Amino acid sequence: MKTIIFPGTFDPITRGHQDLIERASRLFDHVLVTVAFNDSKQPIFTLDERIELVQQTTAHLSNVSVKSFSGLLVDLVASENAIGVLRGLRNGSDLDYELPMAQLNQQMLASCETVFLSPAPEFAAISSTLVRQISSLGGDVSQFVDAAVLQALQTKSASH
């Protein structure tokens, strides 16, 4: 069984992430989405909230599962017996950020492949950072995130 790990902060999951997960679910036997604690990024959603939103937005995909993760990605790849890591590439900046990580992960674990997928063009400019910013300023992000995420963003704004 070929498992690919899709790691990220998912603060929150966007339609771009969902597009990549759907693409990967057609290419691999199992897609394991791992939500990083990532305290350094000070996420607006708790780990449990981020996991729940990934679960809700991928529930229709039977070969996708979700769990939390902390520590080194290569250790997770080894313990899950996965092929490696899936990352999205939207532009050249993503490549500059991703390539060193892919190379170092491969140096640490030779069998660790990084598979890059591009989202559909309409999702290429979406990032969790911009979604959070637009939403916090009262903008409409319904094109960029699932209805469950939209609701969660509105609830978060109302409580601040």
- Asked whether the beta carbons of 52 and 13 are under 8 A apart, the reply is no
Between CA 5 and CA 26 the distance in angstroms is 14
Question: Is 84 among the residues that bind ligand PNS (CB under 6 A)?
Answer: no
The single residue among 4, 8, 123, 144 that binds ligand PNS, judged by CB under 6 A, is 8
Closest approach, Cβ 158 to ligand PNS, in A, equals 26
Residues 24-83 binding ligand PNS (CB under 6 A) are 36, 38, 72-73
Question: Is 101 among the residues that bind ligand PNS (CB under 6 A)?
Answer: yes
Do you find a cis peptide bond into 119, omega within 30 degrees of 0? no
Question: Is 14 among the residues that bind ligand PNS (CB under 6 A)?
Answer: no
* Closer by beta carbon to ligand PNS, 50 or else 138: 50
Residue in 15, 25, 128, 132 annotated catalytic: 128
- How many C-alpha atoms does 62 have within 13 Å on its Cβ side? 0
Closest approach, Cβ 157 to ligand PNS, in A, equals 22
Long-range contacts of 153-158 (CB under 8 A, 24+ apart): 153/12, 156/44, 156/45
Distance, C-alpha 14 to centroid of its chain:
8
* Region near ligand PNS per CB under 6 A, out of 2-10, 52-60, 131-139, 144-152: 2-10
Concatenate the DSSP letters of all residues of 27-65 into one string.
HSSEEEEEEE--GGG--SS-HHHHHHHHHHHHTT-TTEE
Question: Is 20 among the residues that bind ligand PNS (CB under 6 A)?
Answer: no
The residue ranges that bind ligand PNS (CB under 6 A) are: 7-9, 36, 38, 72-73, 101, 104-105
Instruction: Name the residues annotated as catalytic.
Output: 17, 41, 90, 128
